[in-house]
């Protein structure tokens, strides 16, 4: 009977699996073409310290012709699995550093934070590539920040820590992204040479098992903030959408925030306009 029901399962699930595989192959092929066709752009989302613009995060945007925009949450995992994240990540670092260098040369320097996938980070040429970019573009290293996730820890803690130290020696700022959702051990996290923690936005939206309203979470938010401060890290809250969340976080001592309440990620010219409008 087990055999029989097994066969039934195969019959039931094979078509769906094929569909998934087909969709994945199609996405992979489209991504490969997109990189060559120049379909990617970078948008920049403000990160505030108090009321002041502290830095921006570079976020990939992809709008294939004849289709709507595809979110990075969908295509980044595919790019990671098929290895395309390596050329794509290089492209992102180069464009983001060029933009940072342009702002610097225009006399309005602004630090740019760039997301780095674990696979990119483990490449032996990662640090040399970053170093080469800073030199070639004459970009002061403090205007570049790299966001790594707890995922880099899983692979090789000693190697990761050494690379992060090397980058910080160059003057590059390091932040730990999506903090609190990937279950890295605290001791591993404490061994990471970093400058900042970015608290995952699920802590605000209630997806971290804290209930559906942020009213249930102040003590958790306070604890994470205290932990960060004890480790001498700046702590940024991601995904701030409402004035209530802003007030709560401010009250708990959070200085650094990012979210739709302030601005979504914007193309460079719109970010320039946003800056100009705020500085009055």
Residues in contact with ligand C2E by the rule CB under 6 A = 45, 59-60, 71-73, 76, 89, 92, 115, 117, 147, 177-178, 201, 238-241, 258-260, 265
Is 120 among the residues that bind Mg ion (CB under 5 A)?
no
Contact segment (CB under 5 A) with Mg ion among 37-45, 82-90, 111-119, 158-166 equals 111-119
At residue 259, the 3 state secondary structure works out as coil
Q: Which two tokens stand for residue 254?
A: 């959070």
CA-CA distance, 92 to 85, in Å (whole number)?
10
In whole angstroms, the minimum distance from the beta carbon of 198 to Mg ion comes to 5
Nearer to ligand C2E, 68 or 107 (CB): 68
Nearer to ligand C2E, 22 or 34 (CB): 34
CA-CA distance, 46 to 193, in Å (whole number)?
24
Distance of CA 70 to the CA centre of its chain: 16
In whole angstroms, the minimum distance from the beta carbon of 202 to Mg ion comes to 9
Contact segment (CB under 5 A) with Mg ion among 31-39, 122-130, 139-147, 243-251 equals 139-147
Is 80 among the residues that bind Mg ion (CB under 5 A)?
no
Is 178 among the residues that bind Mg ion (CB under 5 A)?
yes
| Residue 63, binding choice from Mg ion, ligand C2E, none, Cβ under 5 to 8 Å by partner class | none
Q: How many residues bind Mg ion (CB under 5 A)?
A: 5
Nearby residues of 81 by Cβ (< 8 Å), 6 or more positions away? none
CA-CA distance, 57 to 78, in Å (whole number)?
21
Is 177 among the residues that bind Mg ion (CB under 5 A)?
yes
Compute φ and ψ for 133, nearest 5 degrees.
-65, -45
Nearer to ligand C2E, 103 or 238 (CB): 238
CA angle (55 as vertex; 265, 197 as ends), nearest 5: 95
Do residues 19 and 13 touch, judged by C-beta distance below 8 A?
A: no
Contact segment (CB under 5 A) with Mg ion among 14-22, 92-100, 169-177, 249-257 equals 169-177
In whole angstroms, the minimum distance from the beta carbon of 6 to ligand C2E comes to 38
CA atoms within 13 A on the CB side of 248: 19
In whole angstroms, the minimum distance from the beta carbon of 71 to Mg ion comes to 11
| Residue 260, binding choice from Mg ion, ligand C2E, none, Cβ under 5 to 8 Å by partner class | ligand C2E
Long-range contacts of 206-215 (CB under 8 A, 24+ apart): 208/180, 208/181, 214/244, 214/245, 214/248
Is 145 among the residues that bind Mg ion (CB under 5 A)?
no
Nearby residues of 212 by Cβ (< 8 Å), 6 or more positions away? 206
Contact segment (CB under 5 A) with Mg ion among 62-70, 81-89, 233-241, 250-258 equals 233-241
Element housing 122 (H / E): none
CA-CA distance, 143 to 113, in Å (whole number)?
8
Task: Please report, as ranges, the residues that interact with Mg ion according to CB under 5 A.
Answer: 115, 147, 177-178, 238
């Amino acid at each position: 009977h087990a055999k029989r029901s097994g066969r039934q399962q195969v019959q039931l699930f094979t078509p769906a699996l094929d569909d998934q595989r087909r969709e994945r192959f199609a996405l992979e092929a489209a991504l490969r073409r997109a990189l060559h066709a120049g379909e990617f752009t970078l948008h920049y989302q403000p990160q505030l310290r108090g009321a002041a613009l502290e830095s921006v995060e570079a976020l990939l945007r992809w709008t294939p012709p004849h289709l709507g925009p595809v979110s990075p949450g969908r295509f980044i995992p595919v790019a990671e699995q098929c290895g395309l994240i390596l050329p794509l990540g290089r492209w992102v670092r180069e464009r983001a550093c060029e933009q940072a260098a342009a702002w610097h040369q225009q006399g309005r320097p602004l630090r740019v934070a760039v997301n780095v996938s674990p696979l990119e980070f483990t490449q032996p040429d990662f640090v040399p590539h970053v170093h080469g970019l800073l030199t070639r573009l004459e970009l002061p290293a403090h205007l570049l920040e790299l966001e790594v996730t707890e995922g880099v820890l899983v692979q090789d803690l000693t190697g990761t820590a050494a690379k992060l130290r090397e980058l910080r020696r160059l003057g590059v700022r390091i932040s730990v992204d999506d903090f609190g959702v990937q279950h890295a051990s605290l001791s591993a996290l404490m061994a990471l040479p970093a400058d900042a923690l970015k608290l995952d936005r699920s802590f605000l939206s209630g997806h971290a098992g804290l209930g559906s309203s942020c009213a249930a979470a102040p003590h958790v938010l306070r604890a994470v903030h205290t932990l960060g401060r004890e480790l001498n890290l700046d702590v940024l809250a991601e995904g701030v959408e409402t004035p209530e969340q802003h007030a709560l976080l401010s009250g708990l001592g959070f200085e650094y925030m990012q979210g739709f309440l302030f601005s979504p990620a914007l193309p460079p010219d719109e970010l320039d306009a946003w800056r100009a409008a705020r500085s009055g």
